[in-house]
Amino acid sequence: MPIFTPYHRFYYSGGFTILSPRATRFKPSSGDSMVQFTPSSISNTAQPGVAPDMADISVGPQQLRDCFSFNFTKVDLGCDSKEAPCLFTFNGFKYDRLKQTVTKVTSQTSSVPACLEAMNCSLTPVSFSGFDDITSITVEAQADGEPVIWWADDFTFGWFEDSCESRVCRSTVPNSITKPSWSVTGRRAAMKLMSLVGIWR
């Protein structure tokens, strides 16, 4: 099924789906489901505002408020390759509320081994350092230089600020389930951001 916001503070770009382990060679790290990301060049489905084959996870319009910066520390990954390892490139972005621009502040490339088995492949834990005080991440996976479908479970996020004031600030945003249409990295981001700035003001 398509993924909306699994948690109402985060927005996932198009290309993500939720599926059971019966639908893939990999098994979840925990629970009975995980996410799959299908690159746009494989699905032949363009993602408005997102670079081709790129996954985007962000706090969406909440980036305009300083209480929504987050830390990203860990995720379990697997990819659709039976030979070459997959290279995952993660980029962390920070929204500058004074300049009203998004800047890449950190990056990490991690190698995830291929799985030769037909079933019950295990996801590989990947840890991150320096992905603190950010407002979005992008993910791109390739094997032998080509985009691949990949799976993930147990994304680990935490709020950068966890003071009482920050909690009160976050509590003012109503709970909601939104479609995966928000992006802060593409060509349409500026127009979307300006309209949201008008709303928030």
Concatenated DSSP letters for the chain? -B---SSTT-EE-TTEEEE-GGGSSEE-SSTT-EEEE--HHHHT---TTS-TT-EEEE-GGGGGSGGG-EEEEEEEEEES-SSSPEEEEEEEEEEETTTTEEEEEEEEEEEE-----SS-EEPEEEE-SS--SBSEEEEEEEETTEE--EEEEEEEEEES--SHHHHHHHHTSPP----S---SSSTTHHHHHHHHHHHH-
Whether residue 162 has pLDDT greater than 50: yes
pLDDT of 165-194, one tens digit each?
A: 999 999 888 766 555 554 444 334 433 433
Enumerate residues 6+ apart whose C-beta is below 8 A from 27: 21, 120, 121, 122, 123
pLDDT of 44-100, one tens digit each?
A: 777 666 778 999 999 988 898 889 999 999 999 999 999 999 999 999 999 988 888
> Can you give the pTM of this predicted structure?
0.82
33 and 144 Cβ atoms separated by less than 8 Å = no
Residue type, 26: F
Whether residue 4 has pLDDT greater than 60: no
Cα dihedral 166, 169, 173, 177, rounded to 10, equals 0
**Pairwise CA distance, residues 16 & 152, whole Å:** 10
pLDDT of 103-139, one tens digit each?
A: 999 999 999 999 988 888 999 999 999 999 999 999 9
- The pLDDT value recorded for residue 199 is 33
- The pLDDT value recorded for residue 192 is 42
Range 10-49 burial, b when 16+ CB lie within 10 A, else e: bbbbbbbeebebeebbbbbbeeeebbbbbbbeeeeeebeb
| Residue showing tokens 């993924």 | 3
Enumerate residues 6+ apart whose C-beta is below 8 A from 57: 10, 11, 12, 13, 136, 137, 138, 139, 155
